[in-house]
Amino acid sequence: MSKYDLIIRNGIVVTDESVEKLDIAVLDGVVVELKPEITGIAIEEIDADGKYILPGGYDCHVHFNEPGRTNWESLLTGTSSLAAGGMTSFTDMPLNSTPVTTNGENFDLKLEAAKRNSLVDYSFWGGLTPNNLENLEELAERGVVGFKAFTCFSGLEEFEGADDWTLYKGMEIAAKLGLPVSVHAENRDITNKLTDKFIKEGKTTPRDFLNSRPEISEIEAVQRVILFAEETKCKLHIAHISTARGVQLVVEARKKGIDVTCETVSQYLTFTEDDLEGLGAIGKCCPPLRAKDTKEKLWEHVIVGNVDIVCSDHSPAPFELKKDSNFFKVWGGISGCQSTMNVMLTEGYHNRGLSLIDVSKLISLNPAERFGIKNKGTIKIGYDADMALVDLNESFVLKNKDLFYMYKVSPLVGLNFKGKIARTILRGKTIFQDGKIVSEPIGKFLRP
């Protein structure tokens, strides 16, 4: 009789093709059997009767702060939050940790920190800035999934936004290296000019901040970087897209054969600009929250498959940086990486009829495939045994104390979610169960 490390019995398994009752057998961290009834024995058995089993999520856009700003969010607090939210891997942005990930030496520091402190599997974006074109190759050799650039101010002086020359040249190099470039797309002139103007006029409320970053600033930047992608043949990924018109440009570019994908994030699918006054600083992000009509159209794009990925853009900061009567001076970034699966189950599956297969593709398989992370993102023989066991019909209100973030705040607190993560399993090992982290940091480096 076959012997396994783990058998999970009686769960309803969400694969990339079906939702059905299956048993799952795991050996050495990998799914080795997947069928209605497994007869073997295992060191550990889990009875998942009544639970749905989704692939562990992959958050391809988080800003953790280790090394260097570990007092904003450490890898331990950040990855505990991911685990509590059913997420089993992530890609960290090249900022806001310090030093920023713009060369090989800095990359090595980050990798060392993750080896020690990450509870889930990890990978990294390298930075693309005006100062590091000559370092892209060494970052590629070390295993970054691609390069991240900003077309506007990044929020931090030490990570300079890319001018058009840098984008064009950087995309040429990335194309040669076979890696994608991910762009934070907002027009720098429009956002800077409006910001300066409003501050000069003493207009510094949340509404003024919203008005300083109109939809056109995203749409223009998306259009421009798509043109560079067409010319350079670079794989392009649009980060945290917030406008339906931006997604429409991506759709049209794909029809022309340009290799472009896009992600959106929970906040644009949950809140509108009218919520910002009530939320205050914890709801400040760039691009900002949008009008109700835009939010609904963005959902339509998600539902028909025009948006490839939903992730978090988790960008925490200490309370001090979230306090200023001038809203422009408040740190821009939302804490949300614990809630991506919850948002997609509640708003996507329960409220809008998005299938569980599509939910899991948006948060697991699509990012893994786009960024070349092999054997992740779905429950399948030969794939890593990364899973979230979910009580799909259980409702709960998210409370501050449920959060594993270093700063236990999030705009998502107080919302009623349906679909509770009961247990998270990384490569066959339970890392989160019944509200508690139950593992040491066992994360492993993932590279394309």
Ligand X SMILES: NC(=O)N[C@H]1NC(=O)NC1=O
Residues contributing to the site for ligand X (CB under 6 A): 63, 95-96, 154-156, 184, 285-286, 313, 315, 332-333
Q: Does 63 bind Zn ion (CB under 5 A)?
A: no
How far is it, in rounded angstroms, from Cα 443 to Cα 207? 41
Q: Which is nearer to ligand X, 184 or 322 (CB)?
A: 184
Q: Tell me how many residues contact Zn ion (CB under 5 A).
A: 1
Q: Interface with Zn ion includes 61 (CB under 5 A)?
A: no
Using the minimum distance from each CB to ligand X, give the nearer residue, 52 or 125: 125
Select from 16-24, 180-188, 347-355, 417-425 the region that touches Zn ion (CB under 5 A).
Answer: 180-188
Is 5 or 313 the residue whose CB approaches ligand X more closely? 313
* Beta carbon of residue 125, minimum distance to Zn ion (angstroms, whole number): 11
Q: 333 or 419: whose CB is closer to ligand X?
A: 333
Q: Which residues ranging from 232 to 251 are in contact with Zn ion (CB under 5 A)?
A: none
- Least distance in angstroms from the C-beta of 86 to ligand X: 23
Residue nearest to Zn ion (CB): 184
Provide the 8-state DSSP code for 98.
Answer: S
Q: Are strands 30-35 and 19-27 parallel, antiparallel or unpaired?
A: antiparallel
Part of the chain binding Zn ion (CB under 5 A), chosen from 22-30, 179-187, 244-252, 362-370: 179-187
Q: Tokens in use for 345?
A: 């189950």
Minimum gap (Å) between residue 316 Cβ and ligand X: 9
Q: Which does 343 bind (CB under 5 to 8 A by kind): Zn ion, ligand X, none?
A: none
CB of 286 to Zn ion, least distance (A): 7
Q: Is 75 helix (H, G, I), strand (E, B) or coil?
A: helix
Alpha-carbon torsion (102, 106, 112, 116), positive or negative: negative
The listed partner (ligand X, Zn ion, none) that binds 154, CB under 5 to 8 Å by sort, is: ligand X
The two structure tokens encoding residue 370: 């786009």
Task: Give whole-number Cα distances, 357 to 14, 51, 158, 361, 364, in Å.
Answer: 6, 15, 40, 6, 10
Q: Is 184 in the site for Zn ion (CB under 5 A)?
A: yes
* CA-derived radius of gyration, the chain: 21
Q: Is 148 among the annotated ligand-binding positions? A: yes
Name which of 286 and 379 has its Cβ closer to ligand X: 286
Q: Is 423 helix (H, G, I), strand (E, B) or coil?
A: strand
Q: How many helices (H) and strands (E) does the chain have?
A: 15, 17
What is the chain's length? Answer: 448
| Residue 61 is labelled as binding a ligand | yes
What is the closest distance, in whole angstroms, from the C-beta atom of residue 23 to ligand X in the complex? 42
Residues with Cβ within 8 Å of 157's Cβ and at least 6 positions away in sequence, in order, are: none
Comparing CB distances to ligand X, the nearer of 226 and 330 is 330
Residue 240 assigned to a binding site: yes
- For CA atoms 122, 93, 342, 238, give the dihedral sign: negative
Nearest distance from C-beta of residue 186 to Zn ion, angstroms: 9
Quote the tokens at residue 18.
């079906």
Q: Does residue 63 have a known ligand-binding role?
A: yes
CB of 146 or CB of 332, closer to ligand X = 332
What DSSP state is assigned to residue 257? T
Residue type for 213, please? Answer: R
Q: 227 near 274, Cβ under 8 Å?
A: no
> CA-to-CA distance for 279 and 284, rounded, in angstroms?
8
DSSP state of 289: P
One-letter identity of residue 228? F
Among Zn ion, ligand X, none, partner that 110 touches (CB below 5 to 8 angstroms by kind): none
CB of 184 to ligand X, least distance (A): 5
Annotated binding site: 61, 63, 148, 184, 240, 313
Annotated binding site for Zn(2+): 61, 63, 148, 184, 240, 313
Tell me which residues touch Zn ion (CB under 5 A). Answer: 184
